[in-house]
Amino acid sequence: MTETRMLPTFHARSAEDVLEALSAGRAGLTKDEAAGRLAESGPNRLPEPPKRSPLLRFLSHFHNVLIYVLIVSAAVTAALQHWVDTGVILAVVIVNAAIGYVQEGRAEKSMDAIRGMLAPRSAVLRDGRRISVDAADLVPGDVVLVEAGDRVPADLRVIEARGLKIEEAILTGESVPVDKGTAPAAEDAALGDRTSMLFSGTLVAAGAGRGVVTVTGPDTQIGRISGMLSRVETLTTPLVAQMDGFARWLTLFILIVAGALLTYGYFVGHLPFSDLFMAVVGLSVAAIPEGLPAVLTITLAVGVQAMARRNAIVRRLPAIETLGSVSVICSDKTGTLTRNEMMAATLAAAEHVYSVGGNGYSPEGAVRWREADVHPDDHRVLMEFARAAGLCNDAMLHAHEAGWRVEGDPMEGALVALAGKITREGAEPFRQWTRADAIPFDAARRYMAVLHHDDVGRACIHVKGAPEAVLALCENQRATHSKVEPLDTDYWHRMVESLAAEGQRVLAVATRSVSPDKTSLDTADIEGWLSLIGLIGLIDPPRAEAVTAVAECHAAGIRVKMITGDHAATARAIAGMIGLKNHDRVLTGADLDEMDDIALADAAVETDIFARTSPAHKLRLVTALQARGLTVAMTGDGVNDAPALKRADAGIAMGLKGSEAAKEAAEFVLADDNFASIAAAVREGRTVYDNIKKVISWTLPTNAGEALTIIVALFAGMALPITAVQILWVNLITAITLGLALAFEPSEPGTMRRPPRPRDEALLTGGLVWHIVLVSTLFLAAVFGMYFYAMDRGYPVSLSQTIAMNTLVVLEIFHLFFIRNIHGTSLNWTAVRGTRIVWACVLVVAAAQFAITYMPLLQPIFGTEAVQIFDGLLIMGVGAIFFALIETEKQMRLAFRRSELSGQIET
Ligand code: ATP
């Protein structure tokens, strides 16, 4: 490999020369060679950007206004020689930073794992066969196959190119795709002019080709521009960012109020400075929701992990919130709603219609006509079907223990199997034919053409594609004995309709013989020159789980639409099996072309099936649906789907069959291409949003209640019912532990039976403000009530304060159980049983409360005294009353909303 480093001008040398220099051939490396070279060249990966040191990360948790306030307070208490207060404040600050540090580490780790799930793969020739490998395993000398939508996995010297266009903006800043070919470029060509090279990280915009890997990993051009890929995605969403901003302003507001109180109390109220100062510190700590951003970040990280478990990988975090409000899902058909396990079932020729037997992708099975097996010697058109199917094909079949598997497009795999069944030559028939040129499949053209030469000097073009597209290219048709007859267009159209009506995917195949000296293929060589061989009907059964998922979406008020490139009749048949709502009405791409934007918006809302569409239609449909105020999720796989995916509120790319271009444009990637995973992701999206809301609805009233307690006490000129040190403890340790439980909340039972949330729903809704007012007032009443009760019984102040503080914590726990079920009841066994995490948090908090209340070592620090058992029970009773009150209030509201909703339905 040292030689390759000394000769960096691959772009100026001929392809043969480069292959030789890399000791490689056009058939690629063997597996052993590749393994040997991998040990030498190292993985094809860019070095990780340097991470912030753990110390710096720990220190960053002190960068927070409240922490500054606390540190200043510690200094002031130290100056006043209140050593215990100073110690408690500092300890709390450090413990708080440690909790934040550990949580952040967990969140980051889960995000790293998610990124790892998106590791790119690459098609490569090993032992002369096309296989797919992890792009990190590529080595110099590997022959890589690229096609439109791929991201180039390493620096490659082009050895074969077909209309290859590459978008190199990432390297050159130039966003117009450049043509690439095999001819050497000038020695002194700038990066953007090296047309014989493909550079790692750039995007294949069109065409297909092969290249030999010249350098990998850090030696690539992108690897040399270090630091470029070290962008860090922060863990945030619009709602969390909004909350962050809100918390910052709230902090400032509270600090101003605290300053005013301090001035008022000292100069007007003539209170002793040290008591007043501690009270004001307590107020600041009580009112500022400092733990909130951290808990929200964890909530997101938990949501991201939950989605990944359900095969939906989040690429852009803000979309997690959007997903919960999706009201329309536009899905592809093939592979998403159907299994994409294809099998050729019918062959329709000019005279006969044959059925094909067999199992899966196994290249064995009988072709039958009128219940009897037939032989290609008697039905010569069958051999033409086989040749077209076998040659106009880029897929390969591999035998595995569990059966046959496809490398490449499953439909093409089914065609290889078909060719094997007819020729009885297994998975690699027609080896005597070599491909001279090809026109790759393109979703707008809807056909693929190849030019082959065989070993006895014949040359032949084969075309396969959508029947309308192929019929338009044909001049005549072949009959069973390969006679040539005029094309009977009506017959073929009727045949297409009847196969498609059974849900079969229909392809037409055609051929043309050409002169042996022809070596290149152009659209002009086929237009109007082909002879139609016939139609191939392929079955692709719907996914059983998609049927359930569609029903679940309908129950959740989400409309499901199918947007497919397939034939209208096939789409209608599959839509019927899947259970789409309006499956009699189909609009085709051509219909859409005739509509203006307003007509399109109406049609898009009412219709659920769109057939024979191209990617441009997807973009128009998303825009039309959005114009009607709908929140649209859209799936896509091809390079041309990128604009529609970007435009959609939630763009979802296919992980298995999707191109890199689609994945990069999308917010989500489906690891298993399965529609059911979209429905699962929507459920998780709703859950994350609910949990964010729950965390907020739990934290804000808690803070408000604590702050009110101190303010009222200050204005009443009485001793604080809960001391500043105790407030510090409750707020920075207890509250964060309890709040964290909400980040892990599972979906509430009715999550997918509610209509989608309006897209622009505000965070501080009237409902939330009311909840804050109600709960903080109840907190205030309960804390003061218990404090006065204790004082009334003649308890010392410190015991009364201990009782009041424990009341506050018990109320927080009851409030937690209430918040867990904001949409349903908290009064059944499931609600009480809670989750393991909830109970773990409650037990930790209870243990901590017992410790500071009863441990003689801690009592002087927190100013506490042991509480009698009767008073303990009383505290629990107050908690239960509080719970009963807010639960009844919720049930009243829910009942009212239900009657309002049913009223709306009736009118
Ligand atoms: P979906 O959008 O639901 O995934 P699709 O896979 O049917 O649908 P396209 O890939 O755009 O959509 O295919 C459109 C049509 O083009 C197909 O119905 C088929 O007739 C034809 N076609 C698809 N793939 C090929 C191919 N590799 N070679 C030739 N024709 C093809």
Q: Is residue 129 a contact partner of residue 396, using CB atoms and an 8 Å limit?
A: yes
Domain membership flag for residue 102: no
What does each C-alpha distance from 52 to 55, 59, 105, 228, 297 come to in angstroms?
Answer: 8, 11, 12, 17, 19
Q: Residues with Cβ < 8 Å from 593, sequence gap 6 or more?
A: none
443 lines ligand 1 (CB under 6 A): yes
Site of tokens 């829910």: 894
654 alpha carbon to ligand 1 midpoint, in Å? 15
- CA 298 to CA 608: how far, in whole Å? 38
C-alpha 873/C-alpha 880 separation (Å) is 10
- The rounded Å distance from CA 585 to ligand 1 centre is 21
Q: Give the residue, by CA position, lying nearest to ligand 1 atom 12.
A: 565
> Using a 6 Å cutoff on CB, does residue 465 contact ligand 1?
yes
User: Mind listing the pLDDT tens digit for each residue in 663-675?
Assistant: 888 989 999 999 9
| The pLDDT of residue 228 | 43
Q: Same structural domain for residues 216 and 251?
A: no
**Ramachandran angles phi, psi of 346, nearest 5°:** -135, 140
- Mean pLDDT of the region 180-193: 89
Are the CB atoms for 343 and 360 separated by under 8 Å?
A: yes
Q: Which amino acid is residue 128, in one-letter code?
A: G
**How far does Cα 454 stand from its chain's mean position?**
47
Mean pLDDT of the chain: 87
* Of 856 and 285, the one with more pLDDT: 856
Residues 377 and 328 in one domain: no
* Residue 166: inside a domain: yes
637 vs 55: CA distance, rounded Å? 43
**How far apart, in whole angstroms, are the C-alpha atoms of residue 462 and residue 799?**
92
- Per-residue confidence (pLDDT) for residue 233, from 0 to 100: 47
By DSSP bridging, strand 668-670 and strand 372-373 are unpaired
Which has the closest alpha carbon to 533: 343, 352, 373, 342? 352
Closest CA to 142 of 198, 222, 183, 205: 198
Pocket test for ligand 1, best of 147, 564, 674 (most atoms within 8 A of CB): 564
The pLDDT assigned to 8 comes to 58
Q: What is the mean pLDDT of residues 267-284?
A: 83
Considering the domain architecture, whether residues 836 and 899 belong to the same structural domain is answered as: yes
> Is any ligand 1 atom within 6 A of the Cβ of residue 605?
no
How much distance in Å is there from the Cα of 356 to the middle of ligand 1?
Answer: 21
Q: Measure the CA dihedral 648/654/655/660, to 10°.
A: -70
* Candidate of 330, 338, 396, 441 to mutate for ligand 1, largest count of ligand atoms within 8 Å of Cβ: 441
Across the range 332-340, mean pLDDT stands at 92
Q: How is 649-685 classified by DSSP, letter by letter? A: SEEEEETTT--HHHHHH-SEEETT--HHHHHHHHHHH
- Which among 655, 673, 691 is the end of a domain? 673
**464 pocket-lining for ligand 1 (C-beta < 6 Å):** yes
Split at pLDDT 50, 70, 90, the class of 903 is: low
Q: How far is the CA of 399 from the centre of ligand 1 (A)?
A: 25
pLDDT at residue 678 is higher than 50: yes
Name the band, by pLDDT with cuts 50, 70 and 90, for residue 50. Answer: low
Is it the case that residue 630 has pLDDT exceeding 80? yes
Phi and psi torsions of 482, nearest 5°: 60, 25
pLDDT at 815 over 90: yes
Query: What is the DSSP code (8-state) at residue 752?
Result: G
On whether the CB atoms of residues 281 and 66 are closer than 8 A, the answer is no
Q: Measure CA 405 to chain center.
A: 27
pLDDT per position as a tens digit, 842-880: 999 999 999 999 999 999 988 999 999 999 999 999 999
Asked if residue 166 lies in contact with residue 205, where contact means CB atoms within 8 angstroms, the answer is: yes
Q: Which atom of ligand 1 is nearest to the CA of 612?
A: 14
Ligand 1 atom 16: the closest Cα is on which residue? 446
> Which of 385-389, 587-591, 749-753, 800-804 shows the lowest mean pLDDT across its residues?
749-753
Q: What is the 467 CA–ligand 1 centroid distance (Å)? A: 11
Ligand 1 pocket test target in 330, 416, 446 with most atoms within 8 Å of CB: 446
Which is nearest to 481 in space by CA: 354, 389, 355, 349?
A: 349
Atom 27 of ligand 1, residue of closest alpha carbon: 441
CATH assignment at residue 632? 3.40.50.1000
Instruction: Decide if 103 is inside a domain.
Output: no
- Residue 251 included in any domain: yes
Residue that has been written with the tokens 């042991």 in this structure: 866
Q: What is the CATH number of the domain that holds 35?
A: 2.70.150.10
Which is nearest to 69 in space by CA: 89, 84, 87?
89
Locate the ligand 1 atom nearest the alpha carbon of residue 409 and give its number. Answer: 27
Residue 62, Cβ density class (10 Å: 0-12 exposed, 13-18 middle, ≥19 buried): middle
pLDDT at 226: 53
Task: For a ligand 1 pocket test, name from 507, 536, 586 the mutation site with the most ligand atoms within 8 angstroms of its C-beta.
Answer: 507
User: Atom 26, ligand 1: which residue's CA is nearest?
Assistant: 441
For residue 586, what are the β-bridge partners?
A: 609
Statement to judge: residues 549 and 512 lie in one domain: no
| pLDDT score, position 278 | 82
**CA-to-CA separations, 883 to 286, 779, 876, in angstroms, rounded:** 22, 11, 11
Whose C-alpha lies nearest to ligand 1, atom 29?
465
What CATH number corresponds to the domain at position 880? 1.20.1110.10
The pLDDT assigned to 488 comes to 93
Secondary structure of 488-515 as H, E, C letters: CHHHHHHHHHHHHHCCCEEEEEEEEEEC
Q: DSSP labels for 18-48?
A: HHHHTT--TT-B-HHHHHHHHHHH--S-PPP
Give all strands (DSSP E) within 502-558, no chain letters: 505-514, 530-539
Of the candidates 700, 715, 797, the residue with the CA atom closest to the CA atom of residue 286: 700
In this predicted structure, the answer to whether residue 6 has a pLDDT above a threshold of 70 is no
User: Ligand 1 center to residue 567 CA distance, Å?
Assistant: 9
Q: Is the pLDDT of residue 829 over 80?
A: no
How does residue 232 score in pLDDT terms, banded at 50, 70 and 90?
very low
Q: How far, in Å, CA of 152 to CA of 214, rounded?
A: 12
Are 619 and 691 found together in one domain?
A: no
> Is 15:198 a contact under the CB 8 Å cutoff?
no
Nearest CA to ligand 1 atom 30: 465
Degrees to nearest 5, angle at CA 197 with 192 and 201:
75
Q: Report the Cα–Cα distance between both ends of the chain, in Å, rounded.
A: 78
Q: What pairing do the DSSP bridges indicate for beta strands 203-215 and 312-314?
A: unpaired
628 & 710 share domain: no
| Residue 334, ligand 1, Cβ within 6 A | yes
Instruction: Please indicate whether residue 409, judged by its CB atom, sits closer than 6 Å to ligand 1.
Output: yes
- Residues 678, 682: Cα–Cα separation, whole Å: 6
When divided into structural domains, the chain yields a total of 4
Q: What is the mean pLDDT of residues 119-135?
A: 87
Q: What is the CA radius of gyration of the chain?
A: 35
Cα 612 to ligand 1 centre (Å): 9
483 assigned to some structural domain: yes
Q: Which residues are catalytic?
A: 332
C-alpha–C-alpha distance, residues 273 and 283, integer Å = 15
- A 10 A CB-CB count for 17 gives 14
146/296 Cα distance (integer angstroms): 42
DSSP 424: T
Q: DSSP characters for 849-895?
A: HHHHHH-TTTHHHHT--PPPHHHHHHHHHHHHHHHHHHHHHHHHHHH
Count CB atoms within 10 A of the CB of residue 204.
25
- Burial category of 384 from C-beta neighbours within 10 Å (exposed 0-12, middle 13-18, buried 19 and up): buried
Backbone angles phi, psi at 835, to 5 degrees: -125, 170
**CA 451, CA 435: separation in Å to the nearest integer?**
6
Ligand 1: centre distance to CA 442 (Å): 9
- Comparing 173 with 492, the larger pLDDT belongs to 492
Tokens of 633: 């999720």
- Residue identifier of the C-alpha nearest atom 9 of ligand 1: 565
- Is 657 touching ligand 1 by the criterion CB < 6 Å? no
Q: Please state, in angstroms and as integers, the Cα–Cα distance from residue 501 to each residue in 198, 353, 437, 569, 571, following that order.
A: 45, 16, 35, 5, 9
Ligand 1, residue 332: give the atom nearest the CA.
Answer: 3
Cα–Cα distance between 711 and 735 in angstroms, integer?
A: 20
The verdict on 514 and 373 lying in the same domain is yes
Q: Is the CB of 675 under 6 A from ligand 1?
A: no
Helices vs. strands in the chain: H and E counts, helices first = 32, 28
Q: Is the pLDDT of residue 174 over 80?
A: no
Span 309-321, pLDDT tens digits: 999 988 887 788 8
Shared-domain flag, residues 198 and 286: no
CA of 539 to the centre of ligand 1 (A): 13
Residue 647: pLDDT over 70: yes
Handedness of CA 655, 658, 663, 666 (dihedral sign): negative
Domain that includes residue 666, residue range: 312-337+543-673
- Nearest ligand 1 atom to the CA of 505 is 18
Residues 522 and 593 occupy one common structural domain: no
pLDDT of residue 5: 45
Cα(411) to centroid(ligand 1), Å: 9
Give the Å distance between the CA of 211 and the centre of ligand 1.
26
Note whether 317 and 236 are within 8 A (CB): yes
> Whole-angstrom Cα distance, residue 542 to residue 521?
37
561 lines ligand 1 (CB under 6 A): no
Question: pLDDT tens-digit profile of 723-742?
Answer: 888 988 888 778 778 888 89
Q: Over 80: is that where the pLDDT of 111 sits? A: no
Domain end residue (candidates: 638, 673, 708): 673
Nearest C-alpha to atom 1 of ligand 1 is from which residue? 564
**Measured from the CB, is residue 447 less than 6 Å from ligand 1?**
yes
Name the percent of the chain lying above pLDDT 90.
48
CB 152 within 8 A of CB 166: yes
Which of 337, 411, 567 gets mutated to test ligand 1 (max ligand atoms within 8 A of its CB)?
411
Please report whether residue 162 resides in a domain.
yes
Distance 182 CA to ligand 1 centre (A): 29
Do the beta carbons of residue 278 and residue 266 sit within 8 Å? no
452 within a domain of the structure (yes/no): yes
The Å distance, Cα 466 to ligand 1 centre, comes to 7
Q: What mean pLDDT is predicted for residues 128-149?
A: 90
With H, G, I as helix, E, B as strand and everything else as coil, classify residue 625: helix
Q: In angstroms, rounded to a whole number, what is the distance separating the alpha carbons of residues 84 and 102?
A: 27
Separation in Å, CA 331 to CA 68, 339, 675, 759: 51, 14, 8, 21
Mutate to test the pocket of ligand 1, among 331, 392, 409, 566 (most ligand atoms within 8 A of CB): 566
Which alpha helices (DSSP H) does 230-327 contain, by range? 238-263, 273-287, 292-309, 319-324
- The CB of 542 under 6 Å from ligand 1? The reply is no
- Residue 113 in any domain: the answer is no
Q: Among residues 224, 255, 270, which one ends one of the domains?
A: 224
Ligand 1 close to Cβ of residue 871 (< 6 A): no
> Would the pLDDT of 823 be above 80?
no
pLDDT in tens, 389-425: 999 998 989 888 888 988 888 999 999 999 999 999 8
Residues 666 and 813 in one domain: no
Distance from Cα 566 to the centre of ligand 1, integer Å: 6
Q: Answer yes or no: are the C-beta atoms of 636 and 465 closer than 8 Å.
A: no
Tell me the per-residue pLDDT of 458-516, one tens digit each, with 9 for 90 and over: 999 999 999 999 999 998 888 777 778 899 999 999 999 999 999 999 999 999 999 99
Q: What are phi and psi of 606, to 5 degrees?
A: -80, -30
Position in ligand 1 atom list of the atom nearest CA 443: 11
| Same structural domain, 712 and 765 | yes
Q: Alpha-carbon dihedral of residues 885, 891, 896, 902, nearest 10 degrees?
A: 180
The DSSP bridge pattern shows strands 403-407 and 459-465 to be unpaired
Average pLDDT over residues 156-170: 89
Q: 818 and 882: one domain?
A: yes
Q: For residue 481, give the 3-state DSSP assignment.
A: coil
User: Which amino acid appears at position 904 of this protein?
Assistant: Q
- Which atom of ligand 1 has the smallest separation from the CA of 412? 27
Answer yes or no: is pLDDT of 905 > 80. no
Q: Contact at 8 Å (CB) between 353 and 584?
A: no
Atom 17 (ligand 1) nearest CA: 566
**Is 706's C-beta closer than 6 angstroms to any atom of ligand 1?**
no
CATH of the domain at 438: 3.40.1110.10
Nearest CA to ligand 1 atom 5: 565
